[in-house]
Amino acid sequence: MKPEMIIFWTAVTLYGISAVSYVFGLIAKQEKLFSLGFYTAALGFIPHVAFIAKRWIDTGVSPFFDISESLTLGVFMTMLIFLIVQFSTKKIRPIGVLVAPIAFILLTWAGTIMKDAAHSLNPALQSGWIWMHIFGATTGFASILIAAAISILYLLKEKFSGGIYDKLPSLEALDTLAYRFVAGGFILYGVMLVSGCFWSNQVKGNYWGWDPVEVWSLVSWLVYGIYLHLRVTFGWRGKRLAWYAVIAMFLMIVSYWGIPFFTETFHSGFRIDHS
């Protein structure tokens, strides 16, 4: 096994331990397991960063463009924001019960389909817009995943009491915090869509090509727009929006990585159709 892959699977293993710690911490209601999950995730982030850096240096190619690379970067950004949030406050440390397992699953999937060499971006596709597109996509995904995790804490606190649940912020505070992360994700997805349109116009000569990923990304963005509309205009709060945020998060995962994996699209390796 290549050294870079040893580094990669070390990160996956540590994220797996983190996921197990968070899940069993929730089941056993043991805060010490949450702390173990947090510190293990932080340790896993180190080889995760090292893998991306080594792959980039060794190949001279930005390792962000095929599905496995996109998964790796998406998890990287998610864990970065997750760790920043966790360092900022211990009150919502149990959000790792969703974030860590999702990170572990997605990164494991990336490892099973990863190619030996980084995917080289066609020179015709190189543009400053692609970096804005990638930034919006990855940070947006991180935001809505954390919003879903906070929403799960809301649902659990509403149903259970005592112990770790009494140490969580109030239901109102959790509801507001999830809303803020959804709003941030919605804005970042807007950045992703707009920059993607300009990028598409540069490389294909049109702003919108009805690529399946484009369509699903637009649908997902509108789903979160509906979330905000329901809250701001119709006054939705609490349990209904919490379930909405959790379900919408899985829709986003499908639109990001499920569609290009199962369907031939422009996003599956960033091909250009010259026919």
Q: What is the pLDDT of residues 53-96, one digit of tens each?
A: 998 887 776 767 778 888 899 999 999 999 999 999 889 999 99
Report the pLDDT value the prediction gives residue 182, as an integer from 0 to 100: 97
259: left (phi over 0), alpha (psi -120 to 50) or beta: alpha
Round to whole Å and give the CA distance between 101 and 9. 15
Mean pLDDT, residues 270-275: 37
Phi and psi torsions of 249, nearest 5°: -60, -40
In this predicted structure, which of 30-39, 134-143, 208-217, 227-236 has the lowest mean pLDDT? 208-217
Mean pLDDT, residues 21-48: 96
Report the pLDDT value the prediction gives residue 129, as an integer from 0 to 100: 86
Report the pLDDT value the prediction gives residue 210, as an integer from 0 to 100: 79
Round to whole Å and give the CA distance between 160 and 206. 52
In this predicted structure, which of 172-176, 205-209, 242-246 has the lowest mean pLDDT? 205-209
Token digits of residue 195: 């920059």
Query: pLDDT per residue over 230-252, tens digit each?
Result: 999 999 999 999 999 999 998 88
Higher pLDDT, 106 or 121: 106
* pLDDT of 218 higher than 60: yes
pTM of the entire predicted model = 0.89
**Residues above pLDDT 90, as percent of the chain:** 64
Say which residues have a Cβ less than 8 Å from residue 213's Cβ, sequence separation at least 6. Answer: 255, 256, 259, 260, 265, 266, 267
* pLDDT of 271 higher than 50: no
CA angle, corner 65, sides to 81 and 181, nearest 5?
A: 25
Report the pLDDT value the prediction gives residue 266, as an integer from 0 to 100: 54
Report the pLDDT value the prediction gives residue 262, as an integer from 0 to 100: 61
Token digits of residue 156: 């659990």
